[in-house]
């Protein structure tokens, strides 16, 4: 059975209902609202699309009641509200779309499972973890009973399950005296966190296994999230090569899709840089590269650049101690005398946490004076990457 492939929300038109609408006796008020919704989606006016999609669904409920078309329109509204509006408002519509999926004439089970994933996604971070976990288990049981236990949809459900596991671990780390969850309720705080990360990683590994077996049907964001969770487990246990490779797999899945400013991409790059830095400090970088660790951005340049003769390590900001490891990429122009000028942030994560420290350090760098025969552009836009990390390797992630 072929499952729905990833579609970028920015290009989403959701016009797949039109053939069914043309064949069915659609109430005019429903069709009018649907057409307005579809036109808004095509033009990228998501606020209007949400409004018209909700109207179309409500009109269908009033005129058609329990029908496959009502379910489709509920899903349209829930999907666009979840991705472009308020996740909490999408839950009711997506619940309704799941219920009515059984009325579809073809692929009803696959459609219901797909809608279950979107419902879980809308609930994640909005609903309490206990009812969310029950919904995930229900969806997984449904998938298994319909021969879809190894489908991409189940892999996505595992990602949400790993997210719940990680949230519980965060609470444990924020309040070490409070035991949360059986998987992290024994041992010292540090050992409990290690064990918790390992258990969360086991869940994510199930998702990675499914995604690896179905590469053409996976959604990049889910692939990245799953590999990040696996990386957290390796990182907490100081297996830096395995962690770096997991984060690398994550960033390569989404970097070209979303761009480096996307929070998930930035997080993946930040964790990759952090793990790479540990390997470098331990003299293991060359071995890691022989095992497949890439010389990815920002450690690659398409032209030669002047190298610093004196480096200054940045201070670790006090406000970052309870947050996370991260990075800041600084660019400078170097004067003929070797002085950094026009110092600026090229990219950083988390936003504005490490910028000031990185800029202050870069301003103290010293470079060789200009020599005859230097390549053109040798001293412009020189890139200086800084990695910031909490030394325990158990920072909130």
Residue pLDDT, tens place only, 114-126: 999 999 999 999 9
CB 274 within 8 A of CB 232: no
pLDDT at position 93, please?
Answer: 97
Q: What are phi and psi of 289, to 5 degrees?
A: -65, -30
Query: pLDDT tens digit string along 145-192?
Result: 999 999 999 999 999 999 999 888 877 766 544 333 333 333 346 677
pLDDT at position 157, please?
Answer: 98
Cα distance between residue 110 and residue 388, in whole Å: 44
Q: Is the pLDDT of residue 23 over 50?
A: no
At 394, the pLDDT band (50, 70, 90 cuts) reads very low
Which residues are CB-neighbours of 267 under 8 A, at least 6 positions away?
A: 228, 349
pLDDT at position 178, please?
Answer: 36
pLDDT at position 173, please?
Answer: 66
Q: What are phi and psi of 370, to 5 degrees?
A: -65, 140
Record the pTM: 0.83
Sign of CA dihedral 249, 394, 356, 285: negative
Q: What are phi and psi of 345, to 5 degrees?
A: -85, 125
pLDDT at position 325, please?
Answer: 73
Cα distance between residue 332 and residue 306, in whole Å: 11
pLDDT at position 174, please?
Answer: 61
Query: pLDDT tens digit string along 313-370?
Result: 998 887 776 666 788 999 999 999 999 999 999 988 888 889 999 999 999 999 999 9
- Tokens matching residue 158: 């595992």
pLDDT at position 235, please?
Answer: 86
CB 253 within 8 A of CB 227: yes
Which one has a higher pLDDT value, 181 or 106? 106
pLDDT at position 322, please?
Answer: 63
Mean pLDDT of the region 40-58: 95
Question: Can you say how many angstroms the Cα of residue 48 is from the centroid of all Cα atoms in its chain?
Answer: 27
pLDDT at position 20, please?
Answer: 54
CB 324 within 8 A of CB 348: no
DSSP state string for 352-393: TTSHHHHHHHHTT-B-PPP-TTPPTTTTSSEEEEEEE--TTS
Mean pLDDT of the region 250-279: 91
pLDDT at position 187, please?
Answer: 36
Q: How many angstroms separate the Cα of 60 from the Cα of each of 35, 95, 105, 203, 367?
A: 14, 16, 18, 39, 69
pLDDT at position 188, please?
Answer: 41
Cα distance between residue 55 and residue 40, in whole Å: 13
Whole-number average pLDDT of the chain: 86
């Amino acid at each position: 059975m072929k499952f729905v492939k990833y579609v970028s929300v920015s290009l989403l038109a959701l016009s797949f209902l039109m053939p069914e609408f043309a064949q069915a006796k659609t109430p005019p008020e429903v069709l009018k609202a649907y057409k307005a919704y579809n036109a808004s989606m095509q033009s990228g006016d998501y606020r209007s699309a949400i409004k018209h999609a909700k109207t179309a669904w409500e009109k269908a409920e009033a005129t058609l009641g329990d029908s496959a078309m009502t379910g489709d329109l509920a899903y349209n509204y829930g999907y666009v509200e979840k991705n472009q509006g308020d996740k909490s408002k999408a839950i009711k519509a997506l619940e309704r779309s799941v219920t009515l999926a059984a009325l579809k004439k073809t692929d009803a089970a696959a459609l219901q499972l797909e809608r279950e994933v979107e419902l879980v996604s809308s609930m994640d971070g909005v609903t309490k973890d206990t009812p969310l976990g029950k919904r995930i288990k229900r969806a997984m049981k449904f998938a298994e009973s319909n021969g879809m236990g190894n489908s991409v949809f189940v892999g996505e459900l595992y990602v949400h399950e790993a997210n719940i596991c990680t949230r519980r671990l965060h609470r444990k780390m924020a309040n070490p005296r409070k035991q949360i969850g059986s998987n992290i309720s024994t041992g010292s705080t540090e050992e409990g966190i290690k064990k918790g990360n390992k258990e969360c990683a086991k869940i994510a590994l199930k998702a990675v296994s499914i995604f690896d077996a179905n590469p053409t049907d996976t959604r990049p964001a889910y692939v990245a999230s799953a590999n990040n969770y696996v990386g957290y487990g390796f990182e907490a246990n100081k297996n830096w090569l395995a962690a770096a490779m997991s984060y690398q797999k994550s960033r390569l899945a989404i970097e070209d899709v979303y761009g480096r400013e996307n929070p998930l991409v930035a997080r993946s790059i930040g964790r990759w840089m952090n793990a790479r830095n540990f390997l470098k400090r331990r003299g293991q970088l060359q071995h890691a590269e022989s095992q497949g660790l890439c010389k990815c951005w920002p450690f690659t340049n398409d032209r030669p650049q002047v190298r610093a003769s004196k480096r200054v390590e940045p201070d670790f900001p006090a406000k970052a101690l309870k947050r996370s490891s991260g990075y800041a990429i600084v660019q400078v122009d170097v004067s003929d005398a070797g002085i950094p000028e026009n110092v600026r942030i090229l990219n950083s994560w988390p936003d504005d946490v490490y910028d000031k420290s990185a800029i202050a350090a870069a301003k103290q760098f010293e470079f060789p004076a200009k020599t005859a025969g230097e390549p053109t552009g040798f001293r412009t836009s020189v890139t200086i990457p800084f990695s910031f990390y909490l030394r325990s390797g158990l920072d909130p992630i």
